[in-house]
């Protein structure tokens, strides 16, 4: 597949690359990597940092035998070392219909999906740059597209192309899709969930708990448009649900306060759930420059 250069340039603008040049993305928990890397591994191997001893068994490599202990105690012990492994990151990008909002972005603005795509691209770039494999799941009510975790730049280009070629169109069932992802991932890693989370909060919270049970680390980035955060309409307006298509006519000036209150409850629920699972929760407004958002996020994640 021919890689469209312009796609990469669009997602990874020079100013973004400059901003992310020295920003690592670290996991706050041990991750199971296949290669030696900068992330702590749950496995004890034969690296440079001593961890403990174990009794020698037949078949063990004699190079790891602790000769000094043998000389003193005449017992066979094998030296074990902390293993540093690479981070396996997975980007879970929401491509449900609500991510298409707003239909006509203001000048200098973008849809939630475009914004989320740039966040995903930035994070993928950071992982690839630090030699960590990164995979991609695009989901709405199910997994729409996926890419395995790899750490090459060509893989990065493939992922970006896949993101670019996917359009938010279908209904969303984030809870179901996230559960499916959780079942597929066999090894612990860092999950980067980028979505507006416009679904039943109970099911999404369940999915987050599922990820936590499987030992994943996660960063939840909830992308909302500025107008969603601050209800902009002051006159009577008929609103159509972008996923169900149902219509509601409301008096904007009258309903704004109640809307904001309900939204606050909604956001608070996710924030609280993420805190309970020790996940990072980031609320992203499309009015916020995504490079600044990523810089701030990565700065917080520095060890």
Least distance (Å) between residue 22 CB and other proteins: 17
Report yes or no: 122 and 167 within 8 Å, Cβ to Cβ.
Answer: no
Least distance (Å) between residue 127 CB and other proteins: 21
Of the pair 96, 130, the CB lying nearest other proteins is at: 96
Rounded to whole angstroms, the Cα distance separating 90 from 60 reads 35
Is omega for the bond preceding 130 within 30 degrees of 0, making it cis? no
Of the pair 4, 280, the CB lying nearest other proteins is at: 280
Q: Which residue has the tokens 């860092």?
A: 190
DSSP 129-177: HTT--EEEEEESSSEEEEEEEE-SHHHHHHHHHHHHH----S---HHHH
Least distance (Å) between residue 197 CB and other proteins: 11
Least distance (Å) between residue 174 CB and other proteins: 13
- Contact residues toward other proteins (CB under 8 A) are 97-98, 100-103, 112, 196, 198, 222, 224-225, 228-231, 233, 235-244, 246-251, 253-264, 266-268, 270-271, 281-285, 287-289, 291-293, 295-296
In Å, the largest CA–CA distance within the chain is 88
Q: CA 285 → CA 41, 72, 75, distances in Å?
A: 34, 64, 63
Least distance (Å) between residue 226 CB and other proteins: 10
First and final CA of the chain: distance in angstroms? 38
- In angstroms, how far is CA 94 from the centroid of its own chain? 11
Rounded to whole angstroms, the Cα distance separating 99 from 111 reads 7
Report yes or no: 140 and 94 within 8 Å, Cβ to Cβ.
Answer: yes
Of the pair 42, 102, the CB lying nearest other proteins is at: 102
Of the pair 17, 35, the CB lying nearest other proteins is at: 17
Least distance (Å) between residue 44 CB and other proteins: 37
Quick check: helix, strand or coil at residue 281? strand
Least distance (Å) between residue 259 CB and other proteins: 4
Of the pair 153, 261, the CB lying nearest other proteins is at: 261
Of the pair 85, 195, the CB lying nearest other proteins is at: 195
Of the pair 35, 261, the CB lying nearest other proteins is at: 261
């Amino acid at each position: 597949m021919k890689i469209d250069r312009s796609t990469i340039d669009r997602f990874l603008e020079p100013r973004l690359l400059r901003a992310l040049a020295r920003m690592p993305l670290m996991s706050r928990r041990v991750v199971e990597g296949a290669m030696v890397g900068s992330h702590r591994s749950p496995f004890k191997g034969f690296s440079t940092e001593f961890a403990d001893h174990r009794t020698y068994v037949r078949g063990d490599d004699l190079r790891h035998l602790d000769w000094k202990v043998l000389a003193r105690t005449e017992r066979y012990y094998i030296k074990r070392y902390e293993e540093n492994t690479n981070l396996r990151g997975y980007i879970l990008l929401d491509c449900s219909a609500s991510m298409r909002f707003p239909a006509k972005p203001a000048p200098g603005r973008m849809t939630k999906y475009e914004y989320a795509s740039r966040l995903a691209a930035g994070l993928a770039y950071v992982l690839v740059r630090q030699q960590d494999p990164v995979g991609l799941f695009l989901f709405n009510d199910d997994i729409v597209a996926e890419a395995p975790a790899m750490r090459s730049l060509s893989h990065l280009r493939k992922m970006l192309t896949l993101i670019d070629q996917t359009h938010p169109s279908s209904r969303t069932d984030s809870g179901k899709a996230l559960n499916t992802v959780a079942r597929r991932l066999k090894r612990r890693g860092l999950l980067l969930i980028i979505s507006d989370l416009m679904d039943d909060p109970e099911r999404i919270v369940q999915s987050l708990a599922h990820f936590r049970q499987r030992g994943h680390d996660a960063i939840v980035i909830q992308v909302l448009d500025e107008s969603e955060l601050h209800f902009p309409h002051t006159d009577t307006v008929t609103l159509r649900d972008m996923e169900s298509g149902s219509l509601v006519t409301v008096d904007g000036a009258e309903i704004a306060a109640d809307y904001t209150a309900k939204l606050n409850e909604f956001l608070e629920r996710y924030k609280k759930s993420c805190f309970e699972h020790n996940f990072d929760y980031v609320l992203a407004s499309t009015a916020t420059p995504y490079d600044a958002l990523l810089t701030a996020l990565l700065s917080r994640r520095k060890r």
